[in-house]
Amino acid sequence: MKKQQDKADIISVARQAKVSPSTVSRSYNHPELVKPATRKKIEKAIQDLGYVRNRAAQTMHGKRSATIGLVVPTVNNAIFSEVIQSFSEAVDKAGFTLLIATHGFDLAQEYALARKFMEHRVDGVALTGLDHLDATYNLIAQQQVPAIQIWSYASDARLPCIGADNREAGRVAVRHLLALGHRDIALIFPPLEGNDRARLRLEGAEEELAGAGVTRIARWQEQAPYSVGQAKDAAERLLATPPLPSAILCANDVIAQGAIYAAAKLGLRVPEDLSVMGIGDFPGFAEMEPALSTVRIPARRIGEKAGEALSAAITGATPGGLARARVPVTLMPRGTTRPATGQSRTGSD
C-alpha cells in the first residue's frame, strides 16, 4: 500500500520487506537459499508493490535473456503454422519467451531479423530451412548464439538442423504415382529461390522421374507467399492446355488444394480423371472428401523436437551440443490418387 505509483524496483521491494536487495534477488533466483519466513515477507512486499522483475537488467548482467528467436518465411500459411505452434509450446515450457519475425522469403531480410534478435540478446535462434546468406551464418558464428535450422534436414547442413528430408519427400511422392501406373505427371511448384524445401522436393521428384514419365511443370513468378489462389490459377492454366496429365504432384498440400479446386472448376473429377498428390499432410487435409494423398512431414514433431533441443542446448542440458535429427517422411496414400487405368477418360463411377 506504499507509493506504488513509482515503478517498483528491487530496492523498493527490499525496503518494504526490510531486507537487502540481494536477498530479494536471491529469493527469485535461488529460493532455497533464503529462509521461508523471509521469502514470505518478500513475496508480500512484491505483491503490495506490484513489482515485476526486470529481465533486461538481469540480461545485462550476463544472465540469459530467456528469449529465443524464430525466423520463418511467413505465418500466414497452413504450412508453417503447425511448426510454429509446437515450437512455441516447447520453448514456452522450458521457460523461454518467443521472438518471432517473418521475412517473406527474402534472405536479406532474414539476415536483418537475425541481427535484430542478436541485439535483443536472444539465447538461441531458429531459422527456417537450409538456405541462408553467408552473412547470416557468420553473424551466428561470431555471436556464438546457439542456432538451429528447422523444417529441412540435410546431413551436410552448415548448422544443426531438425527436419525432414525434402528431397526424399519428393521421391516418395513420385514413386507413389509411378507405382500407380502414372506416366504423364505434371508438377506444380512455387518459385525456388530462398526456398530449399520446394527446391529439394523438386530435385527429388525429378530424379525419380528421370526416364520414367513425361513431365510438365507449372510455376508462377510472384515471390509472394504462395496461396491457394495462385496455385489454383497455375493449375487451371496447366489443365486447360492439352494434353491432360494423369496426375499432378504439388509442392505442398496448399498447392494441391488449389489444384483440386482448379480441377473442380474445369469439371475434372479427382481422382477419376486426375490424381492429385500433395506434400506435407497439414492439419485439415486428411478430412477432405476425397482425402488428400500426400507425403507426411511431421510438423508438430519437428517443431517440438527443435524447441526442446534448442532449449536444452541453451540451459546446458545437452552435453554434446545441438543435435541434428532427420524425422522420417511417410507416404499417406488416400483418396485423391488412384491407379492410372490406361485411359483416364472413362467415367461411369
Q: For binding to DNA (CB under 7 A), which residues are involved?
A: 7, 9-11, 18-26, 28-30, 33-35, 37-38, 51, 53-54, 57-58, 60-63
Residue 35, binding choice from DNA, its own copies, none, Cβ under 5 to 8 Å by partner class: DNA
Is residue 293 within 8 A of residue 268, CB to CB? The reply is: no
Beta bridge partners of 163: 151, 326
Residue type (1 letter), 226: Y
User: Please, what is the angle between helix 196-209 and helix 166-179, to 10°?
Assistant: 40
Is the preceding omega at residue 271 within 30 degrees of 0, hence cis? Answer: yes
92 near its own copies, judged by CB under 8 A: yes
Is residue 31 within 8 A of residue 78, CB to CB? The reply is: no
Which among 170, 198, 169, 177 has a CA at the least distance from the CA of 276? Answer: 177
Cα(11)–Cα(255) distance, rounded to whole angstroms? 58
16 near its own copies, judged by CB under 8 A: no
**Residue choice 21, 48, 94, 99 for contact with its own copies (CB under 8 A):** 99
Residue 115, binding choice from its own copies, DNA, none, Cβ under 5 to 8 Å by partner class: its own copies
Name the minimum Å distance from CB 30 to DNA: 7
311 near its own copies, judged by CB under 8 A: no
216 near its own copies, judged by CB under 8 A: no
Name the minimum Å distance from CB 24 to DNA: 7
Count the residues in the chain. 349
254 near its own copies, judged by CB under 8 A: yes
**Beta-strand pair 294-296/330-332:** antiparallel
Residue 333, binding choice from DNA, its own copies, none, Cβ under 5 to 8 Å by partner class: none
4 near its own copies, judged by CB under 8 A: yes
Scanning 31-39, 72-80, 212-220, 321-329 for contacts with its own copies by CB under 8 A, the matching segment is: 72-80
Could you tell me the three cell numbers for 315? 540451459
Q: What is the DSSP letter of 267?
A: T
Beta bridge partners of 92: none
Residues that bind its own copies (CB under 8 A): 4, 7, 50, 52-57, 59-60, 65-67, 74-78, 81-82, 84-86, 88-89, 92, 97-102, 115-121, 142-144, 227-229, 232, 254, 257-258, 261, 264-265, 283-284, 286-289
